Each structure stands twice: as C-alpha cells, then as structure tokens.
C-alpha cells in the first residue's frame, strides 16, 4: 500500500493534534511525496499509517495527512493485533488495533520499541521494511 502526502500540518485537525501533539514539532513528511505503508494503527477513532519518514525513521502518522495511491497490501504476512491499556487520565480501558508484521501485532513491547525508536524496534522495522519493499521491485 502506498500513500501520497497531501498536508504536513495539524493546524486544521484539532482532534489529531489533541492525541498526537508530540508530532507537531517532528513532522518529517513532504507534500506530494509517496510513502510505502508498513503498518497501520487505529486508536481514539483515528487511523495512523506507519511510514518511513524523510529522516528514514519509522513513525505513525494520521491517515488524513495522506491520499491512498496504491491500495494493494504487497505481502501476505500482515497480521491484526488488539491491545488494551488503562488510561492515565481517567482509568478507563482503552483499545487500539495494529495491522502489520506478526511481531507488531502480537508483541506490545516490540510495538512500543518501534514507536519509541529504540534499537530493537528500529532493527525489526528495518527487516520488515526490506521485506515489504522487495514486493515493489
């Protein structure tokens, strides 16, 4: 699956900014550039795409920053995972879904390693990225 960046600001997306304000200072995507999607996350009623941003690091970006230009998932080994956690704000149980490699879908610690961009997460993402990218050659 490939997406094309149509905007790189949250200025008019209050809901996304509320949940992902930490991204505001780190939007490393280019308008009109096409990105391969390596995973997806659905949280707080918002869909995110896992892409390799312009700094070559993996990051989840809200889907409304992109248009889908290729709908095909190129590799059959995609998996869906469901995660739950207790909200730090009010203690309610929050649920989010991840679609990507089997490890991302089943290993919360690895998923967090990718999100936090530590060595284990970056290594796994790079292996998954190579596998997906080969499908586009």
What residues are paired with 115 via a beta bridge?
A: none
Decide if pLDDT at 21 tops 80.
no
Residue from 119, 96, 104 nearest 45 by CA: 96
Domains of the chain, by residue range, sit at 2-134
In the chain, % of residues over pLDDT 70: 88
> Tokens 């596998």 map to which residue?
131
pTM for the model: 0.88
Residues paired with 4 in a beta bridge: 34, 67
pLDDT at residue 11, rounded to an integer:
61
The more confidently predicted of residues 76 and 1 is 1
Read off the pLDDT of residues 104-137 as tens digits, 9 standing for 90 and up: 999 999 999 999 999 999 999 999 999 999 988 7
């Amino acid at each position: 699956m490939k997406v094309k960046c149509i905007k790189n600001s949250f200025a008019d997306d209050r809901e996304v900014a509320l949940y992902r304000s930490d991204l505001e200072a780190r939007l490393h995507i280019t308008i009109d550039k096409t990105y391969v999607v390596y995973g997806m996350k659905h949280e707080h009623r918002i869909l995110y795409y896992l892409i390799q941003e312009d700094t070559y690091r993996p990051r989840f970006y809200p889907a409304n920053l992109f248009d889908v230009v290729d709908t095909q998932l190129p590799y059959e080994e995609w998996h869906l995972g469901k995660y739950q956690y207790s909200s730090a704000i009010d203690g309610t149980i929050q649920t989010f879904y991840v679609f990507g490699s089997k490890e991302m879908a089943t290993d919360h610690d690895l998923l967090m390693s990718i999100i936090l961009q530590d060595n284990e997460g970056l290594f796994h993402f790079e292996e998954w990225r190579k596998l997906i990218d080969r499908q586009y050659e």
